[in-house]
Amino acid sequence: MNSNRLPVLTIVVPCYNEEEVLMITARELTSILKEMISETLISPESSILFVDDGSMDKTWELITALHKTNHHANGIKLAKNAGHQNALLAGMDTAKAYSDCIITIDADLQDDVQAIRQFIHKYRAGHDVVYGIRRERKNDTAFKRHTAQWFYRVMEKMGVELIYNHADYRLLSKRALEELGRYRERNFFMRGVVPLLGFSSAEVYYDRKERAAGESKYPLRKMLAFAFDGITSFSIKPIRFLTISGFLFLVFSAIAGIFALVQKFNGYTVPGWTSIILSIWFIGGLQLMGIGLVGEYVGKVFKEVKHRPRYGIDSGLIRNTTQPKKPSATPLRTRLRSSRKLS
């Protein structure tokens, strides 16, 4: 952060059919923004960016009206419903150009807007990433609470690093946003990617409230799809599970083979039983392991095509480096030849 200048903050709000709650949200966010501007915590150029994620109700009309009357309110409208995560990305990409930091928050006021002030304090203290963590979820339905807990547990088992009880209420500095832009995968699971960025991070705790108005846009179907997307875009453990179980079946087929032979020599079997039993276990195990092995390679391809950056640089102390020379227009070989002629 440039210490001489107040940071320009943009609050990105994804909105999908949020006509019932939008005006309340806009009022709350504007008032905290104005408070922080008057406390000289943030620049007066700070603003809110509403992202209309292809709503079918009056959301965009309301955003347009807000933009006319409230000079802190901006909006973009997506061509069609792209989903919460993509709406967030669209907003962040747009806001990145003119902001020093951005905060993403849901439109329904379930996340305490008062925490924004603490986000900014943490940012000003030098943190590039600030996670909003739900302290308690007593206002969520029991169903939502349990499914969410189950989600974190499964993700952990699958080896996906997530911040417990953190959703998409977070602050990212400009350079964290730029770093995020280097993750070029199509299936963008932001909660999993942000912890991979590194940089100095901090946490802010808040109480999760009930939706101010309207109803959840995340039915069970979308929640399951979200979890499945998270697992399959971060982990190849399900494939490894296939390989290992195939291997175990093969081992088991050896044991079953010995058992079948013993039975055969003791004369306890009907003709043909031994060979059938042996083939079933052996072929089954071999096939499973084969699928798993192919999967391992597909997994590698899957990791490669994402073109993720291999590292991110936080800061550097480098002395005595010469500026890299501009590449010359003449190819190296002609240059060498002509210099030889000169000497």
| Residue 112 sits in the site that holds Mg ion (CB under 5 A) | no
User: Binding ligand UDP by CB under 6 A: which of 216, 275, 279, 287?
Assistant: 216
d(CA 217, CA 141): 14
CB of 15 to Mg ion, least distance (A): 11
Two tokens, residue 61 = 């009309």
Q: Is 84 exposed, middle or buried (0-12, 13-18, 19+ CB in 10 A)?
A: buried
For 45-58, b/e burial (b = at least 16 CB within 10 A) is ebbbbbbbbbbeee
CB of 214 to Mg ion, least distance (A): 9
Contacts with ligand UDP, 41-80, as mask; x by CB under 6 A: ------------x---------------------------
From the list Mg ion, ligand UDP, none, which binds 7 (C-beta under 5 to 8 Å, kind-based)? none
Work out the angle at residue 134's Cα, subtended by the Cα atoms of residues 138 and 12, and round it to the nearest 5 degrees. 120
d(CA 309, CA 199): 15
Nearer to Mg ion, 99 or 110 (CB): 110
CB of 183 to ligand UDP, least distance (A): 20
Contacts with ligand UDP, 3-42, as mask; x by CB under 6 A: -----------xxx-x------------------------
Tell me the site size for Mg ion, rule CB under 5 A. Answer: 3
Q: Are 130 and 123 in contact (CB under 8 A)?
A: yes
User: Binding ligand UDP by CB under 6 A: which of 75, 83, 91, 246?
Assistant: 83
d(CA 295, CA 238): 9
Give counts: helices (H), strands (E), the chain. Answer: 11, 7
| Residue 230 sits in the site that holds ligand UDP (CB under 6 A) | no
Residue 114 one-letter amino acid = Q
CB of 211 to Mg ion, least distance (A): 6
Work out the angle at residue 3's Cα, subtended by the Cα atoms of residues 36 and 44, and round it to the nearest 5 degrees. 30
User: Binding Mg ion by CB under 5 A: which of 104, 110, 165, 253?
Assistant: 110
Give every CB contact of residue 281 below 8 A, 6+ residues apart in sequence.
Answer: 249, 252, 253, 256, 257
Ranges within 91-120 binding ligand UDP (CB under 6 A):
106-108, 110
CB of 213 to ligand UDP, least distance (A): 11
Two tokens, residue 256 = 């079953």
| Residue 108 sits in the site that holds Mg ion (CB under 5 A) | yes
Residue 340 one-letter amino acid = R
Nearer to ligand UDP, 90 or 239 (CB): 90
> Which chain residues interact with ligand UDP by CB under 6 A?
14-16, 18, 53, 81, 83-84, 87, 106-108, 110, 216-218
